[in-house]
Amino acid sequence: MVKIEIVEERDDHVTLLLKETDRAFANALRRTLMSDVPKMAIHRVRFELGSIEDSGTGETFESVGALPDEVIAHRLAMVPIPTFHDEFCFLEDDPGNEGLPREEWGTPASQIIYHCSARGTSEGHLVTAGDLNVLGEEKLQIPELYRNIPITKLYEGQYIEFYAYAVLGVGSDHSKWNPVSGVSFSSRKIATIARPVKAKALWDLELSIGKSDFKNKKLEDVQKVETLVRELHHVGDGTARIEDFGDAITLDDVSGEYLFSFDTDGSMTARTAFAMACKALSARFSNLSEQLAEDL
């Protein structure tokens, strides 16, 4: 059975150590994170068109701007929407849609609605994700960290108003439903001092990793080895120190162990994304086992 250790974790990033597995499993996990983890994203936008008049100043505003509606809709699709998997269902699974045409699908059980209304100024008013106001619970509001994402800019006499509808989807259907980025894995490595005298070329630079970090000429700490790999560039190919250093320190792969890391877009924590990926991958293998049992 695969063993997993957390090496580093933040809300939007995690680095894991996978043990007793192989490259095929790590790659299956990578692909599942990108394609099968459900995420909320703005799927449809209804723009209000025409002109309005300010009752106080009498100024008239037109629903025009520098960016076409299609471009604005695309930008909105990339805004991280808070995702609570246990509170929403897919649009296609919403029982409230029964008997309705597809263009009218969507209830509070399957979608989140955001409203935006903004007017331009002579200096230019930057419309951001923070101008989206959720028609629902406060926890569904765009997270503070992402409220400065720019949407468009409006000048004097211009205004924009729209309703944006977010629904659950998966990355295999469209990239806007991909909750992760930078998903990668590599073999875990152990560093060994092969030539102590030559290794002095690295120690003399007084970087993060020193001779004292090695025990019995070996360095096994995952994070320190990753730091060492980066610092070896100071004495590697293309540097003036390569002849002095040579192959003083060797890096060897650990069989069956892989470092796995990724970031999220902010719609969910990295821990949630990973848990959902494991759940989806487990279900896929279970279905495959059942099909094989039936066929055989």
Please report where in the chains the tokens 């060492």 appear, as a residue.
228
d(CA 230, CA 207): 11
The percent of residues in the chain predicted with pLDDT above 70, rounded, is: 97
Q: Is the pLDDT of residue 211 over 80?
A: yes
CA-wise closest residue to 168 among 33, 41, 31: 41
Residue 279 maps to a domain: no
Domain boundary among 127, 161, 177: 177
Which pLDDT score, from 0 to 100, does residue 289 have? 57
Which pLDDT score, from 0 to 100, does residue 216 have? 94
Statement to judge: residues 94 and 160 lie in one domain: yes
User: Any idea what DSSP says for residue 40?
Assistant: E
DSSP 39-96: EEEEEEEEE--SEEE-TTT--EEES--SS-HHHHHHHHHTS-----TTT---GGG-GG
Which element (helix H / strand E) includes 286? helix 270-295
pLDDT in tens, 68-95: 999 999 999 999 999 999 999 999 999 9
Statement to judge: residues 45 and 165 lie in one domain: yes
Domain boundary among 127, 142, 177: 177
SS3 79: coil
Residue 142 maps to a domain: yes
Q: Residue type at 177?
A: W
Q: Is the pLDDT of residue 290 over 80?
A: no
Q: Is the pLDDT of residue 292 over 60?
A: no
Statement to judge: residues 22 and 96 lie in one domain: no
Residue 295 maps to a domain: no
Q: Which domain holds residue 88?
A: 39-177
Which phi and psi (to 5°) does residue 119 adopt?
-120, 150
CATH number reported for the structural domain that contains residue 109 in this entry = 2.170.120.12
Statement to judge: residues 51 and 167 lie in one domain: yes
pLDDT in tens, 117-139: 999 999 999 999 999 999 999 99
CATH number reported for the structural domain that contains residue 210 in this entry = 3.30.1360.10
Residue 206 maps to a domain: yes
d(CA 201, CA 206): 10
The percent of residues in the chain predicted with pLDDT above 90, rounded, is: 89
Which phi and psi (to 5°) does residue 277 adopt?
-65, -45
Which pLDDT score, from 0 to 100, does residue 291 have? 63
Q: Tokens representing 65?
A: 């701007």
Q: How many CB atoms lie within 10 A of CB 125?
A: 19
pLDDT in tens, 3-52: 999 999 999 999 999 999 999 999 999 999 999 999 999 999 999 999 99
Residue 193 maps to a domain: yes
Statement to judge: residues 165 and 76 lie in one domain: yes
Residue 274 maps to a domain: no
Least confident among 52-56, 111-115, 136-140: 52-56
Strands 249-264 and 180-193: antiparallel
Residue 234 maps to a domain: yes
Averaged pLDDT score across all residues of the chain: 94
Q: Residue type at 180?
A: V
Report how many domains make up the chain: 2
Query: Which residues 6+ apart lie within 8 Å of 27 measured at CB?
Result: 185
Kindly state the average pLDDT of the residues 197-216: 95
Please report where in the chains the tokens 């977010």 appear, as a residue.
166
Residue 214 maps to a domain: yes
Query: Which residues 6+ apart lie within 8 Å of 294 measured at CB?
Result: none
